Structure 1
């Protein structure tokens, strides 16, 4: 019971972040499961099993709030389903050690993507000067689906920043579209894991907790999209994802002395806390400027 409750809290927090930032549920859930010793393919399968109901409720909630562009959704979701299925098949066909290193490395990378995006405002893809670049939607979907399946998470960190740069939509509409498309990708990825028999050892109690927490928070997160402070939330999520997966990568390479681990962890948490505070101050100043000058777009 306590295990389900703990994962329900984790799932609720992860969905709050995912539903408002457009990323975080899969990366956070897979990171926790991997840190608990769950096999990589099983961790990804469990994460996507939890995503099925949470992304469905999240997508419907965003639709009710008017946060979805159906045209963009279809052009991203369908290629994403193809990439997701292929990624699931690939992950179930490689060795356990190689899969663990790959998933931890991929999650570590996306932790840095999230931290750079929200902590420093850095964009991996340059903003288009003339209109939308819709020709990029299919490749973005395929790549997002593939890394989402092989990394246990990654759909949001790949697709959300990409759509924010190749389309002209406001952030809340990008977040809603990405969340809705993620349901289709989760269905495809789960089908791929069933094909590869990665579903047999799924820890269903943690999955149940993630589902309960995620489903309860999804409608609230959809309503709060675009209203909560994005920068400090994203900075803290990125910092924690980096920390947990860096520990996994270092342990695979031989590890460090315990005392040095403790010092580095405390120093990293202090640094991330400082970055989150600075990001919040900067975002707060920007919002105040918009309130003082309504003619400026948020």
Structure 2
């Protein structure tokens, strides 16, 4: 059912086995082991149509290669919503200062498709998920493809959460009411060709952990750069698996499990000097309802107050604090 990459640190798990009762238990066990060891795994047999993935890359690449003035029509919005010529300084989310990451970005939220009245009920934190999405006019089918992709990955993520519950010895629907109004987001990172040497410490994406429950990412074949930090302090490449999605847990999931599962540092490194290729990365961040409480399921063995609160935290407050650090450098 599983094979491994990166010396077993990032296992490949075949989700097609989840459609039988015994296979579902085996898949959940494999996922639980991966989440406790590295917080990273790759899924195949996930059921996401290959044609949808191809369309997603086509329209997203089509947007980022537009003239600058056309991209700017959906720019200048706070946080992860809309187009950002600077993709942010990801290390700020951990209270670290580095030069800006070498990428452009475009983002949208599931909640950005709700009515103004529905969005007004999403809390008053420093939260970009309360904003309506803005969509570029070109490519013509950009909005349609992004909305379909968000919906399909939302369904996949919901089933992974059921497998998480099984892996933790919980009822399969334990997390369901924490995600029935989820504030998930889809972000496209365009790592443009590097025509000038980066500044010292400047990467395509600086070292960071993700903030939410889980992240689902399809990697382009043959365009590496994603690295995961092992427990021995060594950075390891996560190579693309044809047709696979990289899944990793975020800080909230590590908190929820009382530290049983780990939210692991990762980064996107620069290409070799002279390599002027671009890279497109489109992670889906599956986030709980803004008012969901993430009470730890077990006591922490080794509390780490520098990185997580000591007890329950409301998802919206947690995400708002992280986003504020990321985009403003302040708490």
With the shorter chain as reference, the TM-score category is: under 0.3
TM-score by length of 2: 0.25
Say which structure is richer in helix: 1
Say which structure is richer in strand: 2
- Kindly indicate whether structure 1 or structure 2 has the higher relative contact order, using CA contacts under 8 Å at least 6 residues apart: 1
